[in-house]
Structure 1
Amino acid sequence: MSDYLLEMRAIVKQFDGVRALNGIDIKVKAGECVGLCGENGAGKSTLMKVLSGVYPHGTYDGEIYWNGAPLKATSIRETEAAGIVIIHQELMLVPELSVSENIFLGNEITLPGGRLDYDTMNRRANELLAELNIRDVNVVLPVKQYGGGHQQLIEIAKALNKNARLLILDEPSSSLTTSEIRILLDIIHQLKSKGVTCIYISHKLDEIAAICDTIVTIRDGQHIATTPMREMSVEKIIAQMVGREMNQLYPEKRHTPGDVVFEAKHVTCWDPDNPQRKRVDDVSFTLRRGEILGIAGLVGAGRTELVSAIFGSYEGSYEAEVYYEGRRWHTTSPLQSIRTGLAMVPEDRKHHGIVPDLSVGQNMTMAVLQQFSHGSRIDQDEELKVIRGEIGRLKLKTASPFLPITGLSGGNQQKAVLSKMLLTKPKILILDEPTRGVDVGAKFEIYQLMLNLASEGISIIMVSSELQEVLGVSDRVLVIGEGQLRGDFVNDNLTQETLLAAALAQPLH
């Protein structure tokens, strides 16, 4: 009998002749939590898709052993039957179905005659959630009634219902609040105590350090090291990931903001589902030339709604006056905003940033196609030259600009969306959670790009849930709380405590 529940030996996976995985070995013991670390594009998600049957046996080289026996799964259903369940970064829930229906999706309990046994499913769903210490969820309500934190836990309940022996969590906390992350980590501790084995993928290395027993690092599709967490630190994990010591997480600032060039006045947004409620309540602020303005606040404070209204993409009713160099800008739609010189990289790249059916290059140039058009014809050589230039400038990892954008890692998709907006040559650039799901090395590159743009005179508004990030790159910080402006701070010896106190305090008067 093997000492290991899972062994992956010499795994090789190629796409169009390019090796995404190049002979990776992994061993996982039963009841262990393994942190899988690597930069964007290192091969983490590809490796887990091989393991979970998304890429079936025969489409890769190498061997997988499960509980000592060869595993040659040709589908996800086969790996789930064996007890291997993956929870993807993008949750696989059907919003309109109930919590119970989502937990049993594909594994429904039926009565004689084929009707669904809702009583049994609802009872079992409640039992599963109780095991996870979740008691404030009504399992008969649509899952869309619950926020990201609850939905993530519902996905875990769904996995436990499939009798998961190995649970793969891919960026499970990317859209969770601090308190929700604490609950998630507590639940993983509970699962470990019950003998459930976990593979945890996250760019939040403090979580990895808190929850994992062993760290497996991969870089450029190759296995770098397997190390007990007790011998590691966050700094050592970073060094293994990027192949060098990172002495600083944020680049040194070398730009000085100029005069005020941009003003947003009386921005007010009403809740689309409850028009009596204001999500943003009469917020006004200014922005200097070449300034990086951070917007901080708790989840639900109204930060995304604020910048969406300024850009003209807020889904509900809103009011916003936008001025550039004293002239009123009409930004009632994203297209109008882009044409005036205002661009935005949205928070949800999957739904609002990329077009999944198009290639990497097509996604990058779709907002500026008129630059390459001559009559009714697109100059494809000129377009490709610009695309290759952008891929080099942003250090975007792709085997080819013609590959589907969905084949890229999340961080590289983010760079493509950023490139799309930069090609519009904006005067003002809004970045909503620009480094969500992005690794440490790529984060540094994005911060460096932001500082370079600021030194060229482009003004940047950055929304971020990470206070450390806001303080690391911003010249000035606005704090939003319950839709109101609660603080406007110059970032000079500013602390996370000051920002958090402002977010929780009364509005400024």
Structure 2
Amino acid sequence: MTQALLTMKGIVKTFSGVKALDGIDLRVSPGECLGLCGENGAGKSTLMKVLSGVYPHGTWEGSIVWDGAELEASSVRDTERAGIVIIHQELMLVPELSVAENIFLGNELTLPGARMNYAAMYRRADELLRGLGIAGINVAQPVMNYGGGHQQLIEIAKALNKEARLLILDEPSSSLTATETRILLDIVRDLKRRGVACVYISHKLDEVEAVCDTVTVIRDGRHIATQPMRGLTTEQIIAMMVGREITNLFPREPHEIGETVFEARNVTCLDVTNPRRKRVDDVSFNVRRGEILGVAGLVGSGRTELMQAIFGAYAGTSTAHVLLNGQPLSIRSPADAIRAGIAMVPEDRKRHGIVPLLGVGHNITLSVLQRFARHGALDAAAELDTIRTEMKRLSVRAAHPMLPIANLSGGNQQKAVLTRMLLTHPKVLILDEPTRGVDVGAKYEIYKLIFELAKTGMAIIVVSSELPEVLGLSDRVLVIGEGEVRGDFVNDGLTQEQILTAAIQPAGRRAQPNEANAA
């Protein structure tokens, strides 16, 4: 067996008497990529915070042996000095600083007199990016000029500049396109060839299968198994993660589809920074009672902008004629939409879905506080009773209902936002990327809920970048491309290839139903 670079043994971490980690073991060798899998809230991020020094030595039990010696780090700087670098799911870049300044942040190269040696930093930053196979980035430009995919790769260059021997990637592809994800996986393979060890945390098990040599599964803070990837199937990993076998990820149930309940007509959105450009161009569609409408399209197609305009949340100039049960609505803000019976779970829950420092429970009741008003005061007992009931209904895991929601895993945050929207009793529910950053167990719970809501007659719109998700959930699929409707298809024998064909066809051309469903 190869000499271990890192060994974690019997790691225990407790918060307010509750064990978040209960005896976790981990082992990684040079050039090995370890996949760390588990449901949201299983303890993956907590374990990595122990390893990276966010939780200093002495605040947890167990031992960490690094390159043959006991590691007793008191800070992140200590672990980075040793060669352990973590890339968080939420990128740690300063948008206004240049690419090079971000790469060297805290490790700047200087000239005599403590002046910045920009020439050397630009040269080294360019070398790092080219070494990763990334071309076309001007390292002197602010990092905010580049998209999420490039920023993720800049984070990797930043880590390598710290001479990382162990790189921890936490949900690295959550905001990447398919092409950017392929580049990322190629970079991980190259790092392995150079002898860099990696811990790859992802809910996307196809990525784990593609680059990981070994898989460690943890559940409820406990070590479940560590096995070679070559001897595992995706189904086996899922079973270990959730403690049960999920034979069908999409628990589809028959549901009756009725008359048209919701219509959006002539929706147009102008680009926020360039009003001469249309992000959405005269889009019209409808949804029927009890129907699940999937909305598909490439990144940048205008799907999210379309939903934001309908919900009164688009940041730029937009026009939209919205009808509910045949009656026109005046929607100028999300509050107007919610009052009318339209609810939306936004794509970016961190920016638009949660109030991070507010408690989980208060995030859940934020849209319906008027229900708990009693003679000018808030009935805290009634509110807490509702919070506990709703958290239990959607299995929102939190040590306490008033724990800041920022402390929860991504999947539990998502379920809390969904719970808040359902408390408004909507007639139309818009879900924009409802399972982004969510583990397979939580996905199954969300999918099951979607089918249950459809059975009650709720009209549901699901926007997703994952075509298997669109096909697994939808009764009908609306395809958007460059701000236009490119197809509207009944999901009967529909394939991923047919959706993509519609999405990339020339502007102004709309696929016909018989084209999409042709053999």
TM bucket, shorter chain: over 0.9
**Equivalent in the alignment of 1:109:** 109
Equivalent position of 1:384 in the other structure: 384
State the distance in 2 between where 1:74 and 1:255 align: 56
Matched residue count: 509
Where does 1:183-198 land on structure 2 (aligned, <5 Å)? 183-198=183-198
SS at match of 1:113: coil
- The whole-number CA distance in structure 1 between the counterparts of 2:257 and 2:154 is 46
Equivalences for residues 288-327 of structure 1 within 5 A:
288-327=288-327
Structure 2 counterparts to residues 221-240 of structure 1, below 5 A: 221-240=221-240
Take 2:357 and 2:89, find their aligned partners in 1: how far apart are those partners? 19
Deviation at 1:2, TM superposition (A): 8.8
Give the counterpart letter for 2:378 in structure 1.
I
The one-letter code sitting in structure 2 at the alignment partner of 1:21 is L
2:33 is aligned to 33
Other-structure match for 1:124? 124
Distance 2:498 2:440 in 1: 25
1:464 aligned partner: 464
Give structure 1 regions of 4+ aligned residues with deviation exceeding 3 angstroms.
Answer: none
Deviations 1:9-63 (A, max 9, x none): 1101111111110010111111100000001111111100110111111111111
Does the CA-based 8 Å contact 2:256-2:457 persist in structure 1?
Answer: no
Is the 2:294–2:461 contact (alpha carbons within 8 Å) kept by the matching residues of 1?
yes
Question: 5 Å matches for 1:34-433?
Answer: 34-433=34-433
AA aligned to 1:408 is L
| 1:435 alignment counterpart | 435
Partner of 2:16: 16
Distance 2:361 2:22 in 1: 26
Shift of 1:81: 0.6
Question: Per-residue deviation at 1:240?
Answer: 1.1
Amino acid at match of 2:103: I
Structure 1 stretches lacking a partner, 5+ long: none
Shift of 1:508: 3.8
Instruction: Write the letter of the residue equivalent to 1:180.
Output: E
Are the counterparts in 2 of residues 2 and 67 from structure 1 also a CA contact under 8 Å? no
* Cα shift at 1:252: 2.0
Counterpart-to-counterpart distance in 2, 1:90 and 1:40: 16
Q: Separation in 2 of the partners of 1:111 and 1:210?
A: 44
Q: Equivalent residue of 2:7, what SS?
A: strand
Q: Which residue of structure 1 aligns with residue 517 of structure 2? A: none
Q: What's the offset of the Cα at 1:376? A: 2.4
Q: Which runs of 5+ in 2 are unaligned?
A: 511-519
d(CA) in 2 for partners of 1:8, 1:217: 14
Residue type of the alignment partner of 1:500: L
Q: Which amino acid aligns with 1:148?
A: G
C-alpha deviation, 1:108, in angstroms: 1.1
Retained in 1: the 8 A contact 2:83–2:166?
Answer: yes
Q: Deviations over 1:319-354 (max 9, x none)?
A: 111000111111111111111111111111111111
Helix, strand or coil: the match of 2:100? helix
Counterpart amino acid of residue 79 in structure 1: T
* In 1, Cα distance between equivalents of 2:495 and 2:315: 34
User: Partners in 2 of 1:483 and 1:252 — Cα distance?
Assistant: 30
2: distance between equivalents of 1:427 and 1:106? 51
Bigger drift between 496-505 and 105-114 goes to: 105-114
Counterpart position of 1:446 = 446
CA contact (8 A) 1:471 1:491 kept: yes
- Does the residue aligned with 2:110 lie in a helix, a strand or coil? coil
Q: Is the 8 A contact 1:2 1:68 kept in 2?
A: no
Q: The residue matched to 2:128 in structure 1 has which SS?
A: helix
Name the counterpart of 2:4: 4
Letter in 1 for 2:319: E
* Contact 1:263/1:285 (<8 A) preserved: yes
8 Å Cα contact 1:296-1:303 kept in structure 2: yes
Q: Tell me, in whole angstroms, the C-alpha distance in 2 between the residues paired with 1:476 and 1:26.
A: 45
- How far did 1:375 drift? 2.6
User: Residue type of the partner of 2:257?
Assistant: P
Q: CA deviation at 1:97?
A: 1.1
CA deviations on 1:295-334 (whole Å, 9 max, x unpaired) are: 0000010100000010011111111110001111111111
Distance in structure 2 (CA, Å) of the matches to 1:205 and 1:440: 9
Aligned mates of 1:330, 1:402 — CA distance in 2: 35
CA distance in 2, matches of 1:30, 1:375: 65
Given that 2:99 and 2:142 are in contact with CA atoms closer than 8 Å, whether structure 1 keeps it comes out as yes
What SS is found at the alignment partner of 1:284?
A: strand
One-letter code of the match for 1:414?
Q
Give the drift of 1:128.
0.3
- Contact kept in structure 1, 2:21 and 2:47, CA below 8 Å: yes
* Letter paired with 1:87: I
Q: CA RMSD in A?
A: 1.1
What is the rounded CA distance, in whole Å, between the counterparts of 1:392 and 1:25 in structure 2? 31
Contact in 1 for aligned 2:427/2:459 (Cα 8 Å): yes
Distance 2:2 2:80 in 1: 21
Amino acid at match of 2:351: H
User: Which amino acid in structure 1 is aligned with residue 78 of structure 2?
Assistant: E
TM-score (norm 1): 0.99
| Partner Cα distance (1:436, 1:449) in 2 | 16
Partner in structure 1 of residue 515 of structure 2: none
Identity %: 66
Equivalent pair of 1:14/1:60 in contact (CA under 8 Å): yes
> What's the offset of the Cα at 1:233?
1.2
- Tell me the CA shift for residue 129 of structure 1: 0.2
TM (norm. structure 2) is 0.97
The secondary structure found in structure 1 opposite 2:144 is helix
Taking the aligned partners of 2:173 and 2:257, their CA distance within structure 1 comes to 34
1:434-487 CA deviation, whole Å, 9 max, x = no partner? 000001111010011111111111111111000000000111110000111000
Query: Is contact 1:290-1:454 (8 Å) kept?
Result: yes
**What residue identity is the alignment partner of 1:468?**
P
Deviation at 1:400, TM superposition (A): 1.2
Deviations 1:204-251 (A, max 9, x none): 000000000000000110000000011111111111111122111100
Distance 2:305 2:188 in 1: 33
